[in-house]
A and B are shown apart, each in its own frame.
Chain A
């Protein structure tokens, strides 16, 4: 590993003080002259049609500024979501928006609106909708088949399998892919496990809701929103509002979390934008927690049948998956199918097939949530791998080792050429070994199943993976005549700090002290370069590449300027200590400040008046605006790629299960990551642990609950849909983390992302630990595992609902 000065070192990001002192401005902190407030009228039913609506009394109220209706928004083709609708498909779906001088007036105006509803059938559970006489969530079908809305119903025979808690293998599935020969694999298997498993839906629940303020001025729309991505949100806002991208100004310096639900803004941003255009005033929309619970997106539930065939040494020979996804009411969620990609990567089965379908339900819209599909794969399959290990007499860690991917492992659905893609790198075994040492696996495994009074100890381990990077982005910076490096980034500041961490790659390339770097981010009128979406853990890999390319571009220009002024060839010059100087003669050179002045004098490509042809149009516009201010560095990441960038986390958990109360307590957790070169250790640790804590929630507490008679959610608040909090983390000692410390060969710095796989590693490890604590009685084939489930199983009580039932 090179001896980096910045990469791999802890530091304090420039905006941290603002965050901890409350000076940071989030979307709802902004104000504008003449601003009014918007509130939403939402559906009280899971599926209904507005027969009539009378807004006259509301409009007549003093202080009411206007009402936005579905007719004010662009028409959207089914099954996509318009934002406002006269046929709401879930409880809490916005129907109208009312603007008024203040929120009390807007709320009172909503109560003055008379609406007559026609109640329509609803479906809460995909499996209910697939039954022969089951309801459809949409009037135009319950799934997508061959890119068209369609209705799929299974037979009575298949329904009877559902009654027995199994996903039928004979039902119609709309999607399928296969690699290898399943029959051969199962024929050679010494152990076959065939189970149906349920994974819950769960809201993203970022602490900052998707509030937004917007106004129009001189043909431009100014949007103060909460979004994970900065540069990439502009295009989608432009599409929603029907204006050119250059007429969208997005201000989003801070984002209080998104987890995928605010990937490029949120559809709800369109409400204040459209209302502001309609009433010609700035409009603030503050989204309540209750509204966030409805419109804030969610991870899809999956009901899965998994048949796994193992050799006696634990090697997975064949994996056959039948997957039903809860698609919510709109779009086309892919988690039900993409889980197969991750399963094929982390377990490397010699043959794999996945068949599945996505079924619409009258529950909140779904979106990618931290490791979409990947987390479900680990949470549902890791307990089966663990059970197989137990039955085969193989240790759980050896089970991971024998099936682990390594190097440029192939995985996933075959492409059009019939071949699978590959990972750019995989150092799973290295992470596993380091994790085992950090966790003290050998010692702890002796406590497996140990009872102390009523407390049973369990330990669990699970391997998780997900995407960890993209490529082809741009880097942009100005080396100013004052010697400062003004570095621009369009990466969003969503709490991961990657927007800042990645910028250090450019400074590293220039041997530039971080204190001499001024970071520009968070508003699209600040000349930002084309940047990756801040989703899928892309940015660390993508923007260390782009900013390394940027650093090299500035370095080359410095060398050329020095050679031009001082003689010799550019290669004769080196860069360090904020100077470009002749090798072997440090006194012969230019300071960065002087070189920046010379760049302005030279013009052309040195100060940005000539730009490379391969950079994105957004970068061109930004670089053009910055031209002439110093030495302009701009470059596209054209480094080699070597497959899909995937990172890995092995999670190790210890739990205590009280067999008298069913209570499950986290005792300890360690995450061991293969994430390439460590860029920022403290933030890496926080990603491994924060993903881990979300994973604890999947395993132990977080879920939706719906009344099946009325189709309405009863768990709308934090305290009853139960995402985990800081008091739910292990108390015995601080959670640990380690890394494989192996650079990715397809990143000049070796870096990969990490946010995604951290979640499944924890949920899988905790579910395995519960199983371990309770021995043969510890498999629930369902998440989360709660005290009532433990007690019901231990006391051999009749289960109040079937294994696969949704939202109970």
Chain B
């Protein structure tokens, strides 16, 4: 069979107008169904004819999933809220500016108007071998094309590899983990709430998935508790160009100080591992320390313990070290 990487193959499209209908469709079609949010991740897959689901459930008509509302303990963001609506939301901007900033760091203005927060955290990896249809582990094969010495792996992982060396590319995910957000997931009539930190799945658990979501599951919303509202939360992303690019690495660090020392901290990096990585060793190292250059330096050094760079991504070690350092040392970016 010859290969063509163009034209979306035939599929059955459902456009439910309620979450109940969407869940019913997902239950009915199980692993044959593909959940379509903003389409930015999806359409590449379809147009390249690499992923070929039989059924697509388009959530675009479910207005309730786009809501961003204040709750008794923070805010709840519908999974279908566009990135721009997150960025522009007054509550998000005032209470969680780092979340708005990380959403603004994603993609391009056009994509931020179409792409959703749910899609941004749930998106698949951008490993260029896997995305191009190479039959790697993640695609159900028995090889990783990105890890051999001859492979091109400048943008791949330095942490957490397990056969697959692809990274999670989300910009909002590390911030949500740092903010101790929770993911509200429904499946049929049941609902479960998953800590953002536990939402992402590495290849050692399931090499073909990036999150805990299984067929039939629907990410409904993201709850951001008020615990870190108006706190010092630093986000920074490093990328090759500003027009539209995924992170070479990013960092989100939430710090609470008391009496001149760091009382509580959550330090999360992404773009360096198959999942956003909470650096608990760094957190332990800085708690009780003053937030200063020395502590920041120490945090950077601790952050890179255990890294295993590939042929072309040794620079990520220093990049991650420096991002962690400045996330503690510097004032949050606007």
Residue ranges of A at the interface with B (Cβ–Cβ < 8 Å)? 39-42, 44, 103-104, 106-108, 110-115, 288, 290-291, 454, 660-663, 700-701, 705-710, 712, 714-720, 722, 724-728, 786-789, 791-792, 795, 797-798, 800-801, 808
Contact = CB atoms under 8 A, between A and B. Distances in A.
Contacts of B325: 660
B243 A728 contact: yes
B318 interface: yes
B145 A701 contact: no
A808 B108 CA distance: 25
Contact of B319 (A712, A787, A798): A787
B238 A714 contact: no
Interface string B50-87: 00000000000000000000000000000000000000
Contact of B2 (A110, A710, A716): A110
Interface stretch (B149-157, B187-195, B263-271): B149-157
B245 A722 contact: yes
B128 interface: yes
Interface stretch (B92-100, B199-207, B224-232, B309-317): B309-317
A724 to B, nearest CB: 6
A789 B319 CA distance: 11
B314 A291 contact: no
Contact of B241 (A717, A722, A808): A722
Residue among B4, B248, B312, B322 facing the most chain A CB atoms (10 A cut-off): B4
Majority-rule SS of B interface residues: loop
B334 interface: no
Contact of A792 (B47, B150, B242, B314): B314
Contacts of B242: 725, 727-728
A808 B312 contact: yes
B10 interface: yes
A706 B126 CA distance: 16
B314 A797 contact: yes
A484 B93 CA distance: 59
A714 B166 CA distance: 14
Contact of A727 (B8, B108, B240): B108
Contacts of B47: 288
B238 A288 contact: no
Interface string B283-325: 0000000000000000000000000000111111011001101
6 contacts: A103-B7, A107-B49, A707-B151, A715-B128, A728-B241, A792-B314
A138 B311 CA distance: 30
A622 B319 CA distance: 64
Given A714-B132, A727-B242, A291 B1 contact: no
Contacts of A708: 150, 152
Residue among B7, B47, B150, B151 facing the most chain A CB atoms (10 A cut-off): B7
Interface residues of B, number: 48
B240 to A, nearest CB: 5
B10 A291 contact: no
Contact of A107 (B4, B132, B243): B4
B30 interface: no
A265 to B, nearest CB: 22
Contact of A797 (B7, B48, B150, B318): B318
Contact of A104 (B5, B7, B238, B319): B7
A290 B128 CA distance: 13
A454 B300 CA distance: 15
A113 B152 CA distance: 31
A288 B6 contact: yes
A111 B3 contact: yes
Given A104-B7, A107-B6, A791 B315 contact: yes
Contact of A798 (B10, B154, B314, B318): B314
A106 B1 CA distance: 14
Contacts of B9: 104, 107-108
B124 to A, nearest CB: 14
Q: Which 3 pairs from chain A and chain B are nearest by CB?
A: A725-B243, A660-B322, A788-B315
Interface string B130-151: 0010000000000001001011
B10 to A, nearest CB: 6
A724 B241 contact: yes
Contacts of B152: 705-708, 714, 808
Contact of A791 (B10, B126, B239, B318): B318
Contact of B245 (A44, A719, A792, A808): A719
A662 B321 CA distance: 13
Contacts of A41: 2, 4
A283 to B, nearest CB: 16
Interface in B239-254: 239-246, 248
Contacts of A795: 315, 318
A66 to B, nearest CB: 16
B129 interface: yes
A710 B151 CA distance: 9
A661 B244 contact: no
Nearest to B330: A453
Contacts of B8: 104
A716 B132 contact: yes
A800 B314 contact: yes
A39 B9 CA distance: 14
A114 B2 contact: yes
Contacts of A40: 4
A103 B49 CA distance: 13
Contact of B151 (A291, A709, A798, A801): A709
Given A661-B323, A792-B314, A39 B4 contact: yes
Given A710-B145, A788-B313, A791-B319, 9 more contacts: A104-B9, A107-B4, A107-B7, A108-B9, A111-B49, A288-B5, A712-B132, A725-B242, A786-B240
A661 B6 contact: no
Contact of B238 (A716, A787, A789, A792): A787
Given A788-B154, A788-B313, A661 B238 contact: yes
Contacts of B239: 663
Nearest to A286: B6
A774 to B, nearest CB: 15
A288 B180 CA distance: 42
B2 A113 contact: yes
A340 B175 CA distance: 52
Contacts of A454: 326
B248 A787 contact: yes
Contact of B240 (A107, A111, A701): A701
A663 B247 CA distance: 12
Residue among B126, B244, B323 facing the most chain A CB atoms (10 A cut-off): B244
A363 to B, nearest CB: 14
A466 B252 CA distance: 47
Contacts of B2: 41, 110-111, 113-115
A649 B243 CA distance: 26
A716 B326 CA distance: 34
A272 B98 CA distance: 52
A707 to B, nearest CB: 6
B314 to A, nearest CB: 5
A290 B48 CA distance: 9
A791 B158 CA distance: 16
B312 A800 contact: yes
Nearest to A798: B314
Nearest to A807: B152
B178 to A, nearest CB: 19
A707 B145 contact: yes
Given A660-B325, A663-B238, A728-B242, A709 B1 contact: no
Contact of A719 (B129, B244, B315): B244
